[in-house]
Amino acid sequence: MADGAAPPGPLAGIEGRLPPEMAAKAEADGVAKAGQDAVTLLVLGVLGGAFIAFGAIFSNVALTGAEGALPFGVARVIAGLVFALGLALVLLGGAQIFTGDVLMVMAWASGRLALPRILRAWSLVWIGNLAGAFGTALLVLLADHHLFGGGQVGVMALRTAEAKAALPFSQALILGVLCNTLVCLAVWLSLSSRLPAHRLVVVVLPIAAFVAAGFEHAVANMYFLGFGWLVREHAGPGFWAAVRLDPSAFPHVGLPGVAHNLAAVTIGNVAGGAIFVAGIYWLLYRRARPRS
């Protein structure tokens, strides 16, 4: 150390990254993720699906009873803010969701990843996400969570699932494009810092925005649709009597409706993240430029 120079502070070496550094980090992370073995990708995907499910549970509870008590927009914003728990757990707890992994497209565009390796990683993580989200939904059903609030937690879950499953394919796809643009922007912003607290703060608003706006996220829908379907099929007559409804009130909440929504939203999520986030930031910061 030079004479008179101040010693390094406690935050030395953890200053924030600028966008060009964020782009390099996103690319390197994509290469590292795609290089993981199948078991690791599957287990990280299971964790990711479960973590997003926790955010969805929180969101569902926040919306229960809000209709008529709060303005629509206020209720949706609150639901979005608490849903951000899911991505916070993924980023800080160590997990993967295929929607965030769409940023791997940057490594492909730079020639560092072959397309089959990306598709392999996405497929394994998507399957893991489905297992984690649906497994969490099953545990929540077995805990009789749908009976909370006099059964209104279950009714809210059914209404959410019905609204999603009833979406036309084209609308669900476009809502998926919009959603994963915001989700990938949240992941992108998280790359700007090495501090866990900073990474947590910057992801909250983009995630809250997509939930409040009603955009569609495939991993979240794995829980919302899965739990709604489980309640519809297995809640039992006591639940239906308590809420004064019957399964016919939710005609789209079945396996065809679940598959229809997940197919459309998955395609939209890939397109939104790949084109409007990974593609644009690669073009700005990682494409080869001619020498002057």
25-55 confidence digits (pLDDT tens): 999 999 999 999 999 999 999 999 999 999 9
CA dihedral 224, 145, 127, 24 (to 10 degrees): 70
Can you give the pLDDT at residue 12?
A: 42
The count of residues in the chain is: 292
Can you give the pLDDT at residue 2?
A: 42
Average pLDDT over residues 176-194: 97
Q: What angle do CA 203, 206, 208 make, to 5 degrees?
A: 100
| 123: pLDDT strictly greater than 50 | yes
Residue 9 DSSP class = P
Amino acid occupying residue 104:
M
Q: What does the block give as tokens for 157?
A: 């879950």
Q: What angle do CA 89, 94, 57 make, to 5 degrees?
A: 25
Spatial contact of 54 and 137, defined as CB atoms under 8 Å apart: no
| 10: pLDDT strictly greater than 50 | no
| 66: pLDDT strictly greater than 70 | yes
pLDDT band, very low/low/confident/very high, at 290 (cuts 50, 70, 90): confident
Can you give the pLDDT at residue 14?
A: 58
pLDDT band, very low/low/confident/very high, at 289 (cuts 50, 70, 90): confident
Phi-psi category of residue 47: left, alpha or beta, with phi > 0 → left and psi -120 to 50 → alpha: alpha
Amino acid occupying residue 53:
A
C-alpha distances in angstroms, 36 versus 12, 99, 121, 166, 187? 31, 17, 8, 37, 20
Average pLDDT over residues 282-288: 95
Give the contacts of 108 (CB within 8 A, at least 6 positions apart).
30, 114, 115, 118
292 vs 89, which has greater pLDDT? 89
CA 35, CA 156: separation in Å to the nearest integer? Answer: 40
The model's pTM is 0.94
Can you give the pLDDT at residue 292?
A: 61
What is 19-285's CATH topology? Glycerol uptake facilitator protein (1.20.1080)
Give pLDDT tens digits for 70-84. Answer: 999 999 999 999 999
CA 222, CA 36: separation in Å to the nearest integer? Answer: 24
Amino acid occupying residue 165:
A
Phi-psi category of residue 244: left, alpha or beta, with phi > 0 → left and psi -120 to 50 → alpha: left
As beta bridge partners, residue 70 has 67
CA 161, CA 221: separation in Å to the nearest integer? Answer: 8
CA 38, CA 236: separation in Å to the nearest integer? Answer: 38
pLDDT band, very low/low/confident/very high, at 1 (cuts 50, 70, 90): very low
Q: What angle do CA 204, 209, 215 make, to 5 degrees?
A: 125
